[in-house]
Chains A and B, each alone.
Chain A
Amino acid sequence: MSTAAVTQTIELKRLAPGFAAPAQQSQTVFRSALRAFSHPGSVQTLSMNEALAGMRAPEGADPAAAALLLALLDQDCKLWLSPQFAHSDALAWLRFHTGCVAVTQPDQADFLWVAQANELPDLRDCGRSSAEYPDQGATCVVQVQGFQTDDGWTLRGPGINGASALQVAGLGDGFVAQWQAQKHHFPCGVDMLFTHQNSLVGLPRSTQIEV
């Protein structure tokens, strides 16, 4: 099966800058992603002066989401963009700075960048994880309208001492059902990174959500 890669000429004149110091900043952002996944449900904030220095995110993008993808992607990564991003400067910006490949189907992607929670595709259609290669599941970077850690869902699982609370604003009702359904296929599944402005929250596939 051939992958439908999106190719379009990059208009340099309109391009925004990426990290000012790529090596240090992508390590700082990677560290935050690592913390977010090892303490699911905790809010990590990227500092404007360190992790995000010099970077100008494309229009409609959360700085945290843009920085995460800038740090995580390289030329071997396949990226799916939600409709709001598909024909914006976001793709040109990421392709120039990371060399990633854009695909048109979420089931071919390693990373998904979702501009609004309601554009999130069905989790069963994301990524290519299989019993032989569960590591090929997708990482979804979803921009949401905010988080609260004192109310909402109860999270349990590795990295959480007992239970913790998380509320994600703007996520549809179908999400929790899809999330609970994917635990039957563990270790297959997708991992989520929710972002809002400069903050991010990780939700690895090992975390269980109780409503």
Chain B
Amino acid sequence: MLHPHYNSSPHNAASDPAARQTWMALLARAPEEFLEAQIGILAQGNLQWLRPVETGLLMAQGRAGGTGMRFNLGEVSVTRCVLRPDPDHTQCHQVGVAYILGGSHRHAQLAALADALLQEPTLHSHWDQHLLRPLSEQICAQAQQRKAQAQGTRVEFFTVAREAGSDIQDEDPS
């Protein structure tokens, strides 16, 4: 599932690990400009870095056809950080974590900030409405569009192959 629909229940979603996984995945895929516009202003003040932003390499693994043996596909750059937003500035007392693909430090910082805001029970529903829902719709629409484009160029291959397990006597003996 590449683009999860965000669908958390309002009941204690702020502390639900599954909901958090979903929103962290969404934030990692979010366009940086969108996050900047929504929460860029909150990434100020006396922000405390528990783990400063750092970029490294991770080995991505794949399976041929989704079922074969795992193989090393190649290295991808990943940026991560852990931060504690300024409580006076954001009313948030949580710690946010972000892992994103690519090397954008600002994107990682904003995603971690959003993660912290969403964990705060009093702020959760607000950011759920103003950040996650539009983001989810935007990402799903993009995925739909890409899928439709790909479908337009789809080619069906037909081959004439002997059916497996056919009886040897079916062959012409002459």
Contacts and interface: CB of A to CB of B under 8 A. Distances in A.
A146 interface: no
Interface string B59-78: 00000000000000000000
A17 B49 contact: yes
B93 interface: yes
Contacts of A18: 50-51
Contacts of B97: 12
B52 A15 contact: no
For the residues of A in contact with B, the DSSP-based class is loop
B137 to A, nearest CB: 30
Contacts, number: 22
Given A12-B97, A18-B51, 17 more contacts: A12-B50, A12-B82, A12-B95, A13-B93, A13-B94, A15-B50, A15-B95, A17-B48, A17-B49, A17-B50, A18-B50, A20-B49, A21-B52, A22-B52, A54-B49, A96-B51, A97-B51
Nearest to B48: A17
B116 to A, nearest CB: 10
Interface size range on B against A: 10 to 19
Interface residues of A, number: 11
Contacts of B94: 13
Interface string B128-149: 0000000000000000000000
Contacts of B95: 12-13, 15
Interface string A1-23: 00000000000110101101110
A56 to B, nearest CB: 9
A21 B52 CA distance: 8
Nearest to A11: B95
A165 B94 CA distance: 50
A-B CB proximity, top 5 nearest: A12-B95, A17-B50, A13-B95, A15-B50, A17-B48
